[in-house]
Structure formats: structure tokens, C-alpha cells
Amino acid sequence: MNASARRREIADLVRTAGQVVAADLSARFAVNAETIRRDLSVLEASGDLRRVHGGAIARTALAVEGKVSNRIAERRDEKLAIARVAAAEIPPFGTIFIEAGSTTGHLAQLLPDRGDLLIVTNALQIALELTDLGRSTVMTIGGRVRPASYAEVDTWALERLAGLRFDVAFVGANAIDLAWGLSTPDPAEAAVKAAILASAQKAVLMTDHTKFGLQAACRYGAIEDIDLVVTDRGIDPATIDELHGLGLKVRLADD
């Protein structure tokens, strides 16, 4: 395959998937890393994509929501590493919130078994796992359960959140754009996400690097609503600098 054909296919992949990983492209086309970097530079110059650390994303990449039961197995090692770092933010006592999500879901196995810790969640599978493990006191917020995320949403969930306060909320993300903010494809889930952030004294965002640079239809908060970002080392160093500039702390997890 010549360079032009390869670049057309790369551009198609980015438009279809929203993002590509340079190492995967190198293996797919049986070319070296330098060739792929050159291809991505050419495609960025022509406006077909935007380069990020380790690959590229679509210029206006929109987050696509898959079922959490499938997503929890994606980038499993990275998500487990993120959860291990985030677990250090669990307070010595009090109340924490664990939001529904494929990355936050890995936190359950790492929680201490303490009688003085109240764990609140809007994720049925997280609540069941914590209960089976005997992890402290567990409470869900109630509401309609979304099949895609197993998250409790709508009026019951919002009413319960309005009367709660959390020392720390561990939250995930569908899409993070430093200008547009935090967003998700579903309006009901966006409302609950906004209420979680409003109820938290401290918000810890647990996300792998692929969520940065994405946007979704429903904005629910600004990046400044987050206090700490825990992510993997695939994040673009320039993004880390921007996060620091906005006053956020960033911690990187090792795979």
C-alpha cells in the first residue's frame, strides 16, 4: 500500500472510531513508527485529524457510549492502575461516592472494610460487589437504571443527591474537552453527574487518556469542577500542562 492509500485509510479509521493509536497503526500497516508519525503529521496539516500523545483523534471527535459490561474489559490494566492511585484519596472516615463507570468500577476491590465509611453509588453492579465483599456501609441513590451504564438516573436519583454531601466523589467521564468541559451523550445521566459534582467536597476524576479531546452532546460541568485527575501515562504532556494551568492536580498511574 502506498502512502496516499494508507493515509486515506487512517483518516477513515479516525472518522469511524474517533481515535487511533499509533502503535496499532504501525502493526496494521506493517510500517515503522516514524512512518506513522509522518502520516499523522500530514493528515493533521490537512485537517483530517488532531494528533495527541500516542496517536490521533478526530477534529471534532464525539464520544460514543458503549455498554459498561463491555467497556470494563477495555484497557483493563490501565483502569486498574488508575483505581490503585485513586484509592489513596479515600478519607480516614466519612462518606464517599463512586459513580457508575468502567474505570470507577475497578475501585470496589480496593476499598477498605471499615465500619466508619459510608459508600454511596448510583451503580447497581458496584453496590452488589461492595456488599458481597462486606465493604463498609453501602447505599444506592435509587432511580431508573440505564441499560448502557447500569447507572441510576432521573427524579428519584436527583432528589436523593440533593440531600447528600460527600467528602470525596470518584467520578468517570465519557468526554473531556478543556474548553467545552465535561460531557456525556445522555441528558439524564448528565443531570445526575452535575448533581454528584455539586454534592462533593472533593471530586476525583478517574479516566484513561483516550477521553481527553472528546466531546459529547450534553455538557454537565467545567473541567474546573474537578479537583484531581487520575489518568494513565498515555495522556499528552501538553494536556497535563493545561490542566495544571487551570488549577487541577494530576496524578499518573503506572500500568
Domains identified in the chain, total number: 2
* Max CA separation in the chain (angstroms): 64
> What's the CATH number where 91 sits?
3.40.50.1360
| Same domain flag for 16 and 85 | no
SS3 223: helix
Distances 148 to 43, 67, 72, 100 between C-alpha atoms, Å: 34, 4, 12, 11
DSSP 67-123: PHHHHTTTTHHHHHHHHHHHGGG--SSEEEEE-SSTTGGGGGGG----TTEEEEESB
Cell numbers describing residue 42: 500530514
pTM assigned to the model: 0.76
> What's the CATH number where 8 sits?
1.10.10.10
Residue 62 forms part of a structural domain: no
Cell numbers describing residue 71: 467497556
Give 28's pLDDT tier (boundaries 50, 70, 90): very high
Q: Which of 114-123, 208-217, 220-229 has the lowest mean pLDDT?
A: 208-217
Residue 63 forms part of a structural domain: no
Residue 222 forms part of a structural domain: yes
pLDDT on residue 67 = 59
Mean pLDDT in residue range 157-169: 97
Cα–Cα distance, 249 to 228 (Å, whole number) = 5
Please, what is the end-to-end C-alpha distance for the chain in angstroms? 34
- Tell me the residue range of the domain where 50 lies: 3-57
pLDDT in tens, 42-81: 998 887 788 888 898 877 555 555 556 555 556 778 889 9
